[in-house]
Amino acid sequence: MKNFFKKLGALCIALVITVAVPISANAAESARYELPFESSAASYLLVSLDTGEVVFEKDAHTQRTPASLTKMLTTYVAMKYTDDLDATTVTQTTRHTDELYGMNSSTADIRNGETLTMRQLLYAMMLPSGNEAANMVADHIGNGSKSNFCMLMNTEAKRIGCTNTNFSNPHGLFSDNHWTTAWDMYLIAKACYETPGFMDIATTVHYYLPANTRHADKYLISSTVLMQNKSYPSLYRDYIKGIKTGSTEEAGRNFVTVCEADGERYILVVMGAPYYNEDGTQNKTGAFVAAAEIMDHFFSEYSLKPANGLEAPVTEVAMRYVKDKDNLLLYPKSEIYSVLPNSVDESAFQKIFDVPQQVYAPINAGDVVGTVSYYIAGDLVGTTELIAAESYERDTLIYLIEKLKEIVTSLYFKVVVVVTVVLIIALLGFRYWLGKKYEKMQKIHRSTKR
């Protein structure tokens, strides 16, 4: 891609200037809850997309081999740096497949000399986890260099907020210099989820690649996310929405997915589930079993509950200068939610208010009067502004009377009164003294005449 270096250079400069402002925190919060059983996964992480709460977590910051989870970031970079996914084409050459020979790696059966669009390559990467497709994408965007593409991958990972990730290839085959964490994979999955068009690819079960120079007819490729495929009833869960699997002996069984039920959305990361069974046979469903155990338990025991409603006031403050109305009811401007056990209701939330002791009319509906913060077990869940739901005009007579009362009862007024009284007393005293002096002078004057 001709403009690769230009875009990469600009991005690097921006990163230096902004010091890689992350999409989320650099470290996972403490998990709100613990699983009542031991998962077979070495690491797992469940985060609410609606609230950002970490629900379950185990070793989310431990470095692990991602295997083909890598292709999530490869797809993210490809979508970001390709102007037109359907107009951009790539032709496979031997340099895309040479490193894959003899490695028993997953492919999309793209053959030497065949040309596919970038969109078709993304399906080939995300569904059957085609390693040759990942190499083709990297070679094209990296302007003939996978190293350039990996540099771009790591730059984007840092921009997203990853602090413990380094990718040395676009496909995820094992390398000593290729690692990430469950937390960083969550950040990458979240960035992918928010990329327009990504979930259309990630949730596709079957897709046809076109007839080509080596394929006489179109041919079917299928997603490795068996939990979204009804053909596997023991694994299928209707709450599973994509995204990607990844497995090698070194990595174990990995799985990242979006889980949606009853309007609630979560990202689940499972890493390091068993690659082999105890008898030495391959455990091809280990990550799915671990995911099902976690999410079946979660959806049976927990749900997203509101801390408030927009229709009911949460507090009130004294209101002045309004006839027949002494208090102003305050309503939350936005709803606050938290993941709670099904047995718990909104009474579990502790409310901390930041409101004035009193407000003064006129007041307009929608005026922000203060805030309320909601806590669960001492942890801040969220804060929202408090607003007036109704408008109140100022009563002029009440206003004047109240102002007069304020003036009369104010310290300034009391000081003025005291000073005035003192001055009056002093003036009267002075006049009395002048009167006495005048009388004395009159007596002296009369005695002198005699």
**pLDDT tens per residue, range 82-114:** 999 999 999 999 989 888 877 778 999 999 999
Q: What is the mean pLDDT of residues 430-440?
A: 81
| Predicted confidence (pLDDT) at residue 289 exceeds the cutoff of 80 | yes
Please determine, for residue 338, whether its predicted confidence score (pLDDT) is greater than 70. Answer: yes
Global pTM reads 0.81
**pLDDT value, residue 352:** 96
pLDDT for 21? 28
Mean pLDDT of the chain, nearest integer: 90
356-386 in b/e burial notation, b at 16+ Cβ within 10 A?
Answer: eeebbbebeeebebebbbbbbeeeebbebbb
For 28, 117, 207, 269, 415, the CA distances from 59, given in Å and listed in that order, are 10, 39, 35, 11, 69
Give yes or no for residue 128 having a pLDDT over 90: yes
Q: Burial level of 343, CB count in 10 A (0-12/13-18/19+)?
A: exposed
The pLDDT assigned to 324 comes to 86
